[in-house]
Chains A and B, each alone.
Chain A
Amino acid sequence: KAGVTQTPRYLIKTRGQQVTLSCSPISGHRSVSWYQQTPGQGLQFLFEYFSETQRNKGNFPGRFSGRQFSNSRSEMNVSTLELGDSALYLCASSSRGGGGNSPLHFGNGTRLTVT
């Protein structure tokens, strides 16, 4: 079974631009969650989607948004990029979302650098 695939692996953007990251979950998994990892703040939860609905959202500004498609693939968008958005963005899939706990399967991440 293929694992969680994130594209692209690396991305360099300029302040003020916007970026879209993609995550393809493990086949059959309906939940996709997104995380930001920085040296200063560690891992932080961004949002979680289950069956195309956003179930949970972390404490990030509205510039961070996401969506999930009917095939469970998910995209994350960051608009008006700031230097502080430079981070490793990870997504994880699971067979159940939210309170229906199931193990998380992580992708290798997208490393975003904002200059």
Chain B
Amino acid sequence: KNEVEQSPQNLTAQEGEFITINCSYSVGISALHWLQQHPGGGIVSLFMLSSGKKKHGRLIATINIQEKHSSLHITASHPRDSAVYICAVRSNFGNEKLTFGTGTRLTIIP
């Protein structure tokens, strides 16, 4: 079992829909990152969370440390939101390395 599991792997939705991407992890962490990767490779850091909830524009990220679960929500989705969204956790023991989920490919149809 991977240390970081994301669901769904692929998601297609109509413009304007509310989007939820989930991330579950099995290790103790000091922080969780949500990343966005567009075709061509560039990665943008969306959020870094260690507790609670953060909001930036139409994006909201939440984390439940007890349940080892985080969600990324996109409200009023737009075709420019089409990208791969990646969850990454930094473990709080050992070498504190970052471990990545396999990503969720989101496609928003106009």
**Beyond A106-B45, A109-B42, is A99–B30 a contact (Cβ under 8 Å)?**
yes
State the majority secondary structure of interface residues on A: strand
Quick one: closest B residue to A58, CB to CB?
A: B97
- Chain B interface size band reads 20 to 34
- B interface footprint on A74-105 (CB within 8 Å = 1, 0 otherwise): 00000000000000101010000011011111
CA distance A104 to B97 in the complex (A): 13
Asked whether, in the complex, the Cβ of A42 is within 8 Å of the Cβ of B45, the reply is: no
Q: Could you tell me the distance between the alpha carbons of A45 and B99 in the complex, rounded to whole angstroms?
A: 7
Task: Report which of A48, A57, A88, A103 forms a contact with B48, defined as CB distance below 8 A.
Answer: A103
Q: Does B86 contact A (CB under 8 A)?
A: yes
| B31 partner residues in chain A, CB cutoff 8 A | 101
**Closest beta carbon of chain A to B59's beta carbon, Å:** 14
What B residues does A65 contact at CB under 8 A? none
B7: CB under 8 A from chain A? no
Interface of B is mostly: strand
In the bound complex, how far is the Cα of B40 from the Cα of A109, in angstroms?
9
CB of A44 within 8 Å of the partner chain: yes
- In the complex, the answer to whether B41 meets A104 with C-beta atoms within 8 Å is no
Instruction: Name the one of A43, A88, A108, A111 contacting B86, with C-beta atoms under 8 angstroms.
Output: A43
Bound-complex Cα distance A111 to B96 (A): 26
The answer for the CA separation of A33 and B35 in the assembled complex, in Å, is 15
Q: How far is the CB of B104 from chain A (nearest CB, A)?
A: 12
The answer to whether B41 touches A44, judged by C-beta atoms less than 8 angstroms apart, is: no
Contact of A45 among B40, B42, B92, B98 (CB under 8 A): B98
Q: Contact between B102 and A42 (Cβ–Cβ < 8 Å)?
A: yes
Residues of B within 8 A of A (CB): 30-31, 33, 35, 40-45, 48, 50, 86, 88, 90, 92, 95-103
A interface residues (Cβ-Cβ under 8 A, vs B): 33, 35, 37, 42-45, 48, 55-58, 88, 90, 92, 98-99, 101-106, 108-109, 111
